[in-house]
Structure 1
Amino acid sequence: MCRIYAGTDPRAYRPVRRSVRLGGMVTSIRLEARFWEILDSIAAEEGMSTARFLTVLHDEVLELRGEVENFASLLRVVCTTWLARRAGLPGTLPALQEV
Structure 2
Amino acid sequence: MCNVFAGQDPRRYASETRRLRLNGQSTSIRLEHSFWMILDQIAASEGVTTPCFVSKLHSEVLELRGEPENFTSLLRCACLVFIESSATERPSLMAAE
TM-score, normalisation: structure 1: 0.87
Q: Please, which runs of 5 or more residues in structure 1 have no aligned partner?
A: 90-99
Amino acid at match of 1:68: P
Quick one: distance in 2 between partners of 1:19 and 1:61?
Answer: 19
RMSD, aligned CA: 1.1
TM-score, normalisation: structure 2: 0.88
Give the % identical residues.
55
Quick one: distance in 1 between partners of 2:82 and 2:31?
Answer: 16
Quick one: distance in 2 between partners of 1:76 and 1:85?
Answer: 14
1:75 has 2:75 as partner: yes
Give 2:14's aligned residue: 14
Query: Would you say how many aligned residue pairs link Structure 1 and Structure 2?
Result: 89
SS at match of 1:16: strand
Give 1:34's aligned residue: 34
Q: Please, which runs of 5 or more residues in structure 2 have no aligned partner?
A: 90-97
Q: Once superposed, which parts of structure 1, at least 4 consecutive aligned residues long, lie more than 6 Å away?
A: none
